[in-house]
Amino acid sequence: MPVTAHYRDVPKAMRGFSIALGNFDGVHAGHRVVIGAAQKAGGPLGVATFEPPPRAFFRPEDPPFRLYRPMRRNARLAELGVKAVYELPFNADMAAMTDEIFAREVLSEGLGVAHVSVGFDFRFGRGRMGDAARLASLGRAMGFGVTIVEKLEAQGVKASSTAIREALIAGEPEKAAEILGHDWVVDGIVESGEKRGRTLGFPTANVHLGDLLHPRHGVYAVRARIEGEEAWRDGVANFGRTPTTGLRDPLLETYIFDFEGDIYGKMLDVALVRYLRPELKFDALKGMVAQMHRDTDAARAVLAG
């Protein structure tokens, strides 16, 4: 699936698409409805999003908030039948565009879109001046169609990336999964750490989340997939700062059940299935090890069910 990082001089083969337009962080149930609306409009199906997300541009000091890295997001989009992704560069020039200039220079002249679908709450243009109805009006004037998708609810709340983030920060990965349509998966390169877990009988694969959202600190029942493998393996993971052995930057430490092997430097996918308990500080390593055994048993029970 081709991915382009600009809207000027777009190859002819990537023009004339019916596109879904938005942020698409997480590719959740609401996003999939918007993509489906673009597909129903006919023609080749594309998705246009912003990179970096506008929030990262306007509020660079915010805590990490991404649900997916671009590569994972694009892989999910390809699974949905998307044939091209336009990662529109969100910079000072784009932030200064009026709604009319964006519709004309980016959508009409730049991408040559045939149709655009957006969510009911879509805003665009300098200072968020334009809404979905304004886009529909501009589309009529410029020769492309517009579909506006109404609100979709899951778990009694609007299906949104914000709702997913709130659930994960609250330690409710099951609620996040209801909105996403699957368990939330983080990924990263396995790093060499202090190897303390190995000496305690719980060797862990350590991953920094970087600019991915930081979920609630604590212990999770998880499933993990190692780069080069298709199967998911059961495990238990701690995300946090390990107050017993010394505070440090938040780290995801995953103990994969019944596995031995060197996976340093490999990509690891970790799906958060169930939050088991908050992070604790123990007076001695003996107490921590006993709790790790209990966590392992609890995770096995959850994953077996």
| 177 located within any domain | no
| 29 located within any domain | yes
Greater model confidence, 118 or 245: 118
Do residues 51 and 140 both lie within one domain?
yes
Q: How many other C-beta atoms can be found within 10 angstroms of the C-beta atom of residue 141? A: 11
Across 23-27, 28-32, 99-103, 283-287, the highest mean pLDDT is recorded for 99-103
Do residues 292 and 194 both lie within one domain?
yes
How deeply is 181 buried, as exposed, middle or buried, from its count of CB atoms within 10 A (0-12, 13-18, 19+)? middle
Do residues 82 and 220 both lie within one domain?
no
Give the chain's largest Cα–Cα span.
Answer: 71
d(CA 289, CA 198): 12
Residue 45 has pLDDT above 70, yes or no: yes
Cβ 236 vs Cβ 258: under 8 Å = no
- Please state the length of the chain: 305
User: Where is the domain boundary, 127, 150, 173?
Assistant: 150
Cα angle 102, 108, 109 (rounded to 5 degrees) comes to 95
Q: How many other C-beta atoms can be found within 10 angstroms of the C-beta atom of residue 115? A: 23
Do residues 107 and 232 both lie within one domain?
no
Q: What is the model's pTM? A: 0.89
Identify the pLDDT of residue 4. Answer: 95
DSSP-assigned letters across all residues of 92-134: HHHHT--HHHIIIIIIIIII--SEEEEETT-EESGGG-EEHHH
Do residues 131 and 246 both lie within one domain?
no
| 265 located within any domain | yes
pLDDT in tens, 223-274: 999 999 999 999 999 999 876 555 568 999 999 999 988 999 999 999 999 9
Q: Return the beta strands (E) in 227-290 as ranges.
A: 233-240, 251-256, 267-277
Query: Is the link from the previous residue into 52 a cis peptide, with omega within 30 of 0?
Result: yes
Residue 144 has pLDDT above 70, yes or no: yes
Residue 143 has pLDDT above 60, yes or no: yes
Do residues 128 and 56 both lie within one domain?
yes
Pairing of strands 157-158, 184-189: unpaired
Distances (CA, A) of 148 to 129, 130, 258: 17, 14, 49
Q: What is the CATH number of the domain that holds 15?
A: 3.40.50.620
| 161 located within any domain | no
End-to-end CA distance of the chain: 37
Could you list the residue range(s) of the whole structural domain that residue 195 is in?
Answer: 183-304
Q: How confident is the model at residue 155 (pLDDT cuts 50, 70, 90)?
A: low
Do residues 271 and 189 both lie within one domain?
yes
Do residues 262 and 139 both lie within one domain?
no
Q: Which of 162, 135, 25, 21 is nearest to 88 (CA)?
A: 21
Q: What is the CATH number of the domain that holds 232?
A: 2.40.30.30
pLDDT in tens, 47-69: 999 999 999 999 999 999 999 99
Cβ 204 vs Cβ 295: under 8 Å = no
Identify the pLDDT of residue 192. Answer: 82
User: Where is the domain boundary, 150, 171, 197?
Assistant: 150
| 127 located within any domain | yes
| 159 located within any domain | no
| 174 located within any domain | no
| 163 located within any domain | no
Mean pLDDT of 211-224: 97
Q: How confident is the model at residue 286 (pLDDT cuts 50, 70, 90)?
A: confident
Do residues 109 and 7 both lie within one domain?
yes
Do residues 131 and 187 both lie within one domain?
no
Do residues 11 and 108 both lie within one domain?
yes
Distances (CA, A) of 183 to 28, 78, 139: 11, 18, 37
Greater model confidence, 120 or 247: 120
Question: How many domains is the chain built from?
Answer: 2
Do residues 96 and 188 both lie within one domain?
no
Identify the pLDDT of residue 197. Answer: 58
The residue whose two tokens read 């879109």 is 113
Greater model confidence, 246 or 276: 276
